[in-house]
Amino acid sequence: MSASRTPAAPPDNRVPPVTTSFWAVKILATTVGETGADYLATHVGLGAAMTGALMSLLLAVALVLQFRQGRYVPWIYWLTVVLVSVVGTQLTDALTDGLGVSLYASTAAFAAALAALFVCWARSEGTLDIRRIVTRRRESFYWVAILLTFALGTAAGDLATEALGLGFRVGVFVFLAAIAATAVAWRLGASGVACFWVAYILTRPLGASLGDLISQSGEYGGLGGGTVNTSLLFLALLAILVGAETFRKTIR
């Protein structure tokens, strides 16, 4: 008689569950990426090109760490998100400031690239559900999508706040309203996957507008907090939330 076998445990999801804490940390990570990149490029004097190269190298290291885990590790995951935020921002800025590509064109191009990625992802895996990121291939699709959402969110946010003249103050309320409308659509039965990715894109310009509102001087429509103080404030809040998430996972 053969020995009974214990069913294998299902593989761990490699990304965090979508909760209120998730969205709070996502916005904080976006803001830290935005103000931190501005600080390095402008105040430290690295310039956009050097900042982009340095952050791309750090992102590559973080992604190696992330892929090696095979599960969700809060500090590694959110470090990777912060670095993706910086690199995605630098990618859009390089097109706009370096190559003179209009924000209308870059917004459309990143939207088309993201849509094409989703089509390939769905055809390959049969689902875009982030609750099922349990293989390296799915995680690869996931991180490329995250990078494109940051690039698209940067382009769309700059288009709204700069080219269309909304500014930081109005931009914060506009993006909050758009996220709220997405949440209402989800509650009314819209696709959860679609609503997640729309909200994920919108939190990028929301976080950036919030960071710029707090850090920029009054003559530019900000509150004058400065990039250093703003970066430290949001970094401290980010560390507290990620630390709390790590503690919760440890005691489970």
Rounded average pLDDT over 210-214: 80
pLDDT at 188 over 90: yes
Length of the chain: 252
How far apart are alpha carbons 230 and 214 in whole angstroms?
Answer: 7
pLDDT at residue 11, rounded to an integer: 67
Cα–Cα distances in angstroms (integers) from residue 208 to residues 154, 157, 175, 222, 244, in the given order:
8, 8, 11, 12, 24
pLDDT at residue 62, rounded to an integer: 95
Higher per-residue confidence, 82 vs 162: 82
| Residue 92 · residue 149 · CB < 8 Å | no
What's the whole-model pTM score? 0.87
Mean pLDDT score of the chain? 85
pLDDT at residue 222, rounded to an integer: 72
Whose tokens are 């340095």? That residue is: 54
Angle between helices 136-158 and 47-69 (to 10 degrees): 150
pLDDT at 132 over 60: yes
Cα–Cα distances in angstroms (integers) from residue 165 to residues 89, 135, 168, 221, in the given order:
19, 43, 9, 12
pLDDT at 151 over 80: yes
Residue 22's CB: how many other CB atoms inside 10 A? 15
Rounded average pLDDT over 39-63: 83
Alpha-carbon Rg of the chain, whole angstroms? 19
Closest CA to 40 of 61, 65, 58: 58
- Beta-carbon contacts of residue 73 (< 8 Å; ≥ 6 apart): 66
pLDDT at residue 9, rounded to an integer: 44
Q: How far is CA 151 from the centre of its chain?
A: 9
| Residue 64 · residue 79 · CB < 8 Å | no
Closest CA to 22 of 251, 252, 248: 248
DSSP 188: T
How far apart are alpha carbons 39 and 31 in whole angstroms?
Answer: 12
